[in-house]
């Protein structure tokens, strides 16, 4: 069994997504593996992202692809690989490691704790074309740069301590990723003025907005413009997986639910850090 086969066996992702992952993520991913003979029995992927931590750009690992073949579990393989990866990341100067847990209880013994919780919003019957909407991939280079500048400016203005830095390459890669999930990155604008950037997926005949970044005062119009662009009916509910930038969206057709399980857990890799003392926004790991 190889890494791709173990990934498919444990996570069940579609082949298009697995093709994307092993082609596009490999250049900044460190893979830790445990073999028994010629068989891969356990693996962990340390996928390095550029985070902005209190204004400073820092490379930190996002831990994913944590998998052990069922017949080889409860032998300490995951623990060994996880500690090896975190030690290497610390030696490289990374202050934190973070992950999106399937089960938070698995990672608590390793010093991880919840740092970001999603506030989900179901929105129904809110459609109006206030802004033009279109795919990020269809923008010219100038508008792509403006979209990226807009997103980074909104993140900075939100007084966050930790978030993922965005550039054009980041969104080009995200476009490829969302395409495997039936979606795209959607940019909402008024001529050359950017008003919002959304990450949309479409599976099982349902749209889900994984992320929407906009100015809070424009949130109503941005949401209604996106729903109009997606072509949903008044009876359909669009799930916005996170409403961090949508605090001002209120009224009829809005249902809000705060998730109890952390979307992101993190831990400090050094002796003098504390992930829990920082205001995190990590919401775009699909």
Q: What percent of the chain has pLDDT over 90?
A: 86
Contact 280, 266 (CB under 8 A): yes
Say what the pTM is: 0.93
What is the per-residue pLDDT for 228? 96
116 φ/ψ angles, rounded to the nearest 5 degrees: -145, 130
Tens digits of per-residue pLDDT, 153-207? 999 999 899 999 999 999 999 999 999 999 999 999 998 899 999 999 998 889 9
Most distant CA pair in the chain: distance in Å?
61
Of 27-31, 41-45, 209-213, least confident by mean pLDDT is 27-31
Binned at pLDDT 50, 70 and 90, residue 85 comes out as very high
Q: Quote the CA–CA distance of 195 and 192 in Å, as a whole number.
A: 9
* Cβ contact 102:78 at 8 Å: no
Burial of 256 (0-12, 13-18, 19+ CB in 10 A): middle
- Over 80: is that where the pLDDT of 209 sits? yes
Whether the predicted pLDDT of 286 surpasses 70: no
CA-based torsion, 188, 146, 25, 79: positive or negative = negative
Phi/psi for 30 (5° steps) reads -105, 125
Domains of the chain by start residue, with CATH: 3-116+261-281 (3.40.630.30), 119-258 (3.40.630.30)
- Residue 210 backbone dihedrals phi, psi, to 5 degrees: -75, -30
Q: What is the mean pLDDT of residues 52-59?
A: 97
How high is the pLDDT of residue 150? Answer: 98
155 with 213: CB under 8 angstroms?
A: yes
CA-CA-CA-CA dihedral for 121, 125, 130, 132, to nearest 10 = 80
Identify the pLDDT of residue 285.
65
pLDDT of residue 271: 80
Q: Taking 80 as the threshold, does the pLDDT of residue 26 lie above it? A: no
Q: Provide the pLDDT for residue 28.
A: 81
What is the rounded average pLDDT for all residues in the chain? Answer: 94
Cα-flanking dihedrals φ and ψ of residue 235, to 5°?
Answer: -90, -15
CA atoms within 13 A on the CB side of 59: 13
How do 184-190 and 132-135 pair as beta strands? antiparallel
Looking at residue 283, the DSSP 8-state letter turns out to be -
| pLDDT value of residue 272 | 74
Assess contact for 120 and 238: CB atoms under 8 A.
Answer: no
Span 214-245, pLDDT tens digits: 999 999 999 999 999 999 998 999 999 999 99
Lowest-pLDDT range of 1-5, 135-139, 182-186, 194-198: 1-5
Say how far apart CA 200 and CA 259 lie, in whole Å: 19
Q: What's the confidence (pLDDT) of residue 183?
A: 96
Model pLDDT for residues 252-278, shown as the tens digit of each residue: 888 998 888 999 999 999 887 789 899
Question: In the chain, what percentage of residues exceed pLDDT 70?
Answer: 99
Contacts of 252 (CB under 8 A, 6+ apart): 125
Are 121 and 240 a contacting pair, CB within 8 Å?
yes
């Amino acid at each position: 069994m190889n890494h791709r086969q173990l990934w498919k066996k444990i996570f069940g992702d579609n082949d298009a997504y697995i093709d994307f992952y092993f082609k596009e993520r490999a250049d900044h991913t460190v893979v830790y593996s445990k073999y028994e003979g010629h068989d891969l029995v356990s693996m962990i992927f340390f996928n390095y992202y550029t985070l902005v931590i209190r204004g400073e750009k820092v490379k930190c690992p996002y831990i994913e692809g944590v998998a052990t073949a069922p017949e080889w579990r409860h032998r300490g393989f995951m623990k060994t690989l996880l500690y090896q990866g975190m030690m290497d990341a610390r030696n490289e100067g990374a202050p934190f490691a973070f992950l999106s847990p399937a089960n938070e209880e698995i990672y608590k013994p390793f010093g991880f704790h919840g740092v970001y919780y999603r506030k989900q919003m179901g929105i129904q019957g809110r459609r109006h074309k206030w802004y033009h909407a279109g795919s990020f991939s269809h923008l010219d280079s100038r508008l792509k740069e403006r979209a990226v500048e807009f997103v980074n400016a909104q993140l900075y203005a939100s007084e966050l301590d930790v978030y993922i830095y965005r550039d054009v390459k980041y969104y080009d890669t995200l476009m490829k990723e969302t395409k495997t999930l039936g979606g795209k990155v959607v940019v909402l604008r008024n001529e050359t003025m950017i008003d919002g950037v959304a990450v949309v997926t479409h599976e099982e005949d349902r749209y889900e907005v994984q992320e929407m970044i906009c100015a809070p005062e424009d949130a109503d119009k941005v949401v209604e413009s996106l729903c109009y662009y997606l072509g949903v009916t008044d009876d359909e509910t669009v799930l916005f997986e996170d409403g961090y930038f949508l605090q001002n969206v209120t009224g009829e057709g809005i249902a809000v639910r705060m998730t109890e399980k952390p979307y992101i857990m993190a831990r400090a890799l050094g002796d003098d850090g504390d992930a829990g003392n920082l205001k995190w926004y990590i919401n775009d790991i699909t």
